Structure 1
């Protein structure tokens, strides 16, 4: 039976830490075209507490040897992404990789080349393209209400003063690799590749082992400047988006609700799912008038719905490898910029 006519695609989820448990397993299970068939984890009791019918295997090789698995979703620590994606592709599986795609642009390119060689589906999980506030912003830009965009600020700030013992905060990791891919992907989705990037990474918390503050400026032709900020010592994270155009500004605060809804156990797509509790505000340039501008509800389930269609050849890849590589290019250029204290051309 080919994937083109298979009624239900079986998914092997690799890893059941925060990303696998909070995002991937619920979203996969909510997709009517996908089945959470197998979870690769050394903690079967944790998986079965949430998904009693899922098969749990202790290693990736066992999952890849199963001909029933059509799609492999990699939700493991960043350092394993490229190696595990290559193994899944070599086993003939379609692959979704959680962000960041890989530790380096070279590793990411190697994975993409292998997918091309094998003729297999490959995508990177960029769920925040379906944040409620980002969907509202895209709609306002497309409508022309804001005019020509001249300044775009995107913040992913938190107050987490205590350094935690986890791989995301270990040496070699940090907020640029963890949150930077979200910020970069959204900006590139709107404006494409910039001309250059200037980035500053810093450790601000006592006992910090990796950068917990990232501030980057992407330079575009025509005067557009894109400012991206992620930090862990912001007690007043009042700004999420501050986007200024020749006609009006677009302002939001707070984060999209879907992550908290998933943490609380809400079933994706349930009543109230993705509804922004703090709709954006539009400030008119000529009058200064402020109006609320509610947009569509956030829609993380749309990613896996599109993946299922794309694997069957019925629709486009929601996050194609070319776009994932562009994010990696900007991410890596930002690290070079911070290290060398200069703008890096792209």
Structure 2
């Protein structure tokens, strides 16, 4: 077995249990070392050898940990990522990486200064639908592309229980920060950086304090237009990927 990366997981809720822990545990390149659980201690039932810390500060202070996965509420990402880098840890941060470009640039500069990796967790690049869409585009069967539509829709017409997503008082709240990073990452992974960007945000749910709809238009050379849309009010979910070209 080669070198293993010792991994700490900052939270063990749904995200930690479903999107991170199983993959870290099964990958021979990683050693699942510790998590943070402030109240209910559940990790020992699933992974008896994994240490459970009461606080994030204890997790960061663990000298055995090389990489920390930051899967906490959106508004905490910048603060915790900075603390991890200052402590000499590599970081893998869930979307959104930060609330602002300035925060992201600061973290990348700090990572470079410390000789550490700062990465964004973008699992939607590996969705079967996206991989098939990429395969079709790369095949050239559609000819010159004219327009591309990516969607990520839900039907939740009431305000959700996660306050940090539903209250504009928190940084990086609202649908554009919640699902927008997935669609933007997919578009940029396929087409690169656009030449022009425009967007529309809206609030439709009663008493909503944040956007629950967004439409983003990315313009590319050769008149290729990419449209990214998400809504919380799609009772009949439309196709996630639609690609039109000169040949179909």
| TM-score, L = length of structure 1 | 0.68
Aligned match of 1:226: 226
Query: Quick one: distance in 2 between partners of 1:10 and 1:33?
Result: 9
Offset, 1:98: 0.6
Is residue 143 of structure 1 aligned with residue 139 of structure 2? yes
Structure 1 residue ranges without an equivalent (≥5): 249-346
Which segments of structure 1 move beyond 6 Å, counting only runs of 4 or more? none
Aligned match of 1:209: 209
1:57 to 53, 58, 74: 53
Aligned match of 1:160: 156
Query: Quick one: distance in 1 between partners of 2:3 and 2:40?
Result: 28
1:8 to 4, 10, 14: 4
Q: In angstroms, what is the RMSD of aligned CA positions? A: 1.5
Query: Quick one: distance in 2 between partners of 1:18 and 1:148?
Result: 41
Count, aligned residues: 244
Greater shift, 177-186 or 13-22, is seen at 13-22
1:108 to 90, 94, 104: 104
Query: Quick one: distance in 2 between partners of 1:144 and 1:13?
Result: 41
Is residue 98 of structure 1 aligned with residue 90 of structure 2? no
Is residue 121 of structure 1 aligned with residue 105 of structure 2? no
Offset, 1:142: 1.4
1:83 to 76, 79, 84: 79
Aligned match of 2:35: 39
Structure 2 residue ranges without an equivalent (≥5): none
- SS of structure 1 residue aligned to 2:97: coil
Aligned 8 A contact 2:204 2:213 in 1? yes
Say if 1:92 and 1:6 are closer, same or farther in 2 by CA, change over 3 A.
farther
